[in-house]
Amino acid sequence: MISKNQIKLIRSLELKKNRKREGLFVAEGPKVVNDLLAAGYKARAIFSTKELTNGDVCSTKELITEEELQRISFLQHPQQVLAVMEIPEVARQPISEADTALPSTKLCLALDGVQDPGNVGTILRIADWFGIDTVYCSLDTADVYAPKVVQATMGSLAHVRVFYTDLVPLLQGAEYPVYGTLLDGQDIYGEELSAHGVIVMGNEGNGISPEVRQLVSHRLLIPNYHTDSHTAESLNVAIATAVTCAEFRRRTR
């Protein structure tokens, strides 16, 4: 039986300030929890509605009822397992010079004010799919350890390193290409693309911020092929990220 204090703690982790104070976050579902455990994340507590075997979470400490899981889950349809995980110590440390130098040797992503948790989680999943293991996030980008973000990554949080930092100092004087998707950019399908550098993706409504936009050295446009003037204004940022990453990998793999 889950205690009132356990329920209170878990529900409090919906808020960033509480996750930061406790150094904890919530992961749900066998796949997400298993992937995080396999990647070295430590579970403070694991709650499940059944004994899990055959490769599922084998370290379940506490069996609970479906009703109890419903009380602590952040999902409309809970998925058998909920784990209270420790935020890695490295994620709470300031970004290092070695971390900022990574785009000099490989392709990285930067999220500039992406605020929808579903978009951030999906972008991490996209990065994982296309072999991009480093994502820089501006300080106003949604917290990667928020329940909705963790769930949207579908376990890819275990494979992608995320750094929160001020993007302007990161990109100022960069000795590597800084790409950005902009309405005044050049057709991505005709531009030369590099196997290293940073791809900046902007806010859902406002795009890349003016301060970061002026640091973009290669402006890219995903062209609209609709001949009618009545068409979508823009692509969802996660979809745009997928299209962009796919084109980079198609030509630089």
CA-based diameter of the chain, in Å? 61
* Alpha carbon distance 62, 50 (integer Å): 9
Which residues lie closer than 8 Å to 176 by C-beta, 6 or more apart?
A: 103, 104, 194, 196, 197, 198
pTM here is: 0.91
Query: Which domains are assigned to the chain?
Result: 4-91 (3.30.1330.30), 102-252 (3.40.1280.10)
pLDDT at 55: 47
Query: How does strand 107-112 pair with strand 197-202?
Result: parallel
* Alpha carbon distance 103, 195 (integer Å): 9
Which SS3 state, helix, strand or coil, does residue 7 take?
helix
Cβ density class 226-238: b for 16+ within 10 Å, e for less: eeeeeeeeeeebb
What is the amino acid identity at position 242?
A
* Alpha carbon distance 9, 47 (integer Å): 13
8 Å CB contact between 196 and 176: yes
Give 181: exposed, middle or buried? Use CB within 10 Å, 0-12, 13-18, 19+: buried
Distance of CA 178 to the CA centre of its chain: 20
Query: How does strand 43-48 pair with strand 81-86?
Result: antiparallel
* Alpha carbon distance 27, 48 (integer Å): 12
Which residues lie closer than 8 Å to 6 by C-beta, 6 or more apart?
A: 45, 72
8 Å CB contact between 242 and 126: yes
Write out residues in the chain with pLDDT < 70, as ranges: 51-60, 227-230
Sign of the four-CA dihedral 233, 237, 242, 244: positive
Which SS3 state, helix, strand or coil, does residue 84 take?
strand
pLDDT at 54: 42
pLDDT at 92: 79
pLDDT digits (tens, 9 = 90+) for 83-97: 999 999 887 788 999
pLDDT at 91: 79
CB count, 10 Å around CB of 190?
8
